[in-house]
A and B are shown apart, each in its own frame.
Chain A
Amino acid sequence: MAANMDTGATAPEYVEATDKPEGPVAAAILAAGIGALALGVLTTLAEASQPIKDFLNFYDPVGPLSGKTTWAVAVWLVAWVVLHLIYRSKPVESRLALAVSLVLIGLGVVGTFPVFFQAFAPAE
């Protein structure tokens, strides 16, 4: 935590003296990565498996995108709540959380990239 503090001489006079733990921020950052990964995984799975595609089709006019996005948002929110409860009062540094989250976001982007997920489509 201390490593994150700006030690500029004038900084403390700007704001309240009490400082908040960094745990909730680390939890939010990690949860974002998990949500992004969930979207990528669901997108690829829906392309690879017809039963999964059908399962994710919550609403016919929208198709499987309805389920992919609903589940990804649900996974993100549940992960955020769980991680928040775990880290809420802990002085966790968010540096590692950001690194992990960026990797997860990268994997999520790969999973939503058409050239990647369409490679898993069953041969016609």
Chain B
Amino acid sequence: MLDTLRVHGIGAVRFVSRENRLCSVEKAVAQMSLTHHEFWTLVHGMVFGAVFLLGFTGGLEGLWSLRPHQMTPEGVRGKALRLKIGVTAMAIAAWGTVLTGTWVVYPWYREAVPDSPRSILLADPATAEWHHFGMEWKEHVAWLSPILATTVAFIVLYYGASLIRHDRLRKTSLVLFVLAFVFAAVAGLFGALITKTAPLV
């Protein structure tokens, strides 16, 4: 049954049957599916990573602009609420990232089998430093991020809107907040590069 059109390249059109179309769709879905390992790597790096970045962006803007001469009273209340949401989301995402990374993904990375990413990296002297330096630093330094993000979240939740009256504490929070991001960025960068060199499948 010829019931659909398929476009091949520019201007090349031909009819295909329903059976062929379904087969093609199934094949495409199969090619797009994720393995169990890939799914958790995605949760670890992209789901929590995206929330982390959004939280950082919102929190940074909130902390930076929480100054009396830039705000109306109504603006402060709205800003304080968004700031609380931003820093709390970043802290939760940071914990989610390190917990899934350490307890779910990392065991697969270091599994003592020839095709684990660690084994692949160490098998070639040209890639061994990705493990010895990149992974070794990433797996440790990442844990500083949730600790610092939680500290900032505590300061913001503790003072709320009145943080606007504590300029030094606002700057202190900014320093710790940016440090939390930097440590996560180091870990995220090495994670991405290592995954590119030796993917976890």
Contact = CB atoms under 8 A, between A and B. Distances in A.
Contacts of A6: 67-68, 164-167
Interface string B111-147: 1000000000000000000001100110111011001
Contacts of B169: 4, 22, 25, 94
Contacts of B193: none
B155 A25 contact: yes
Nearest to B134: A114
A20 B159 CA distance: 7
Contacts of A73: 143, 147
A28 B136 contact: no
Interface string B181-192: 001000000000
Nearest to A4: B168
Contacts of B63: none
B89 interface: no
Given A105-B179, A118-B132, A11 B68 contact: yes
Interface string A48-72: 0000000000010111011011001
A118 B135 CA distance: 13
B166 A4 contact: yes
Contacts of A72: 143
Interface in A83-108: 94-95, 98, 102, 105, 108
Nearest to A112: B140
A16 B140 contact: no
Nearest to B132: A114
Interface stretch (B11-19, B29-37, B69-77): B69-77
Contact of B143 (A25, A69, A94): A69
B161 interface: yes
Contact of B176 (A32, A61, A76): A32
Contacts of B141: 109, 112-113
Interface of A: 3-6, 8, 10-16, 19-20, 22, 24-25, 28-29, 31-32, 35-36, 39, 43, 59, 61-63, 65-66, 68-69, 72-73, 76, 94-95, 98, 102, 105, 108-109, 112-115, 118
16 contacts: A5-B167, A11-B164, A11-B165, A14-B164, A22-B169, A25-B158, A29-B155, A29-B176, A32-B148, A59-B103, A65-B102, A68-B140, A73-B147, A94-B169, A94-B172, A98-B175
Closest 8 pairs (CB-CB, A-B): A61-B107, A112-B140, A8-B68, A15-B162, A114-B136, A11-B68, A4-B168, A32-B151
Interface of B: 67-69, 71, 73, 76-77, 98, 102-103, 106-107, 110-111, 132-133, 136-137, 139-141, 143-144, 147-148, 150-151, 154-155, 158-162, 164-169, 172, 175-176, 179, 183
Given A6-B165, A98-B175, 16 more contacts: A4-B169, A5-B166, A6-B67, A6-B68, A11-B68, A11-B164, A14-B71, A14-B76, A14-B77, A14-B162, A15-B76, A25-B159, A25-B169, A29-B151, A62-B106, A113-B137
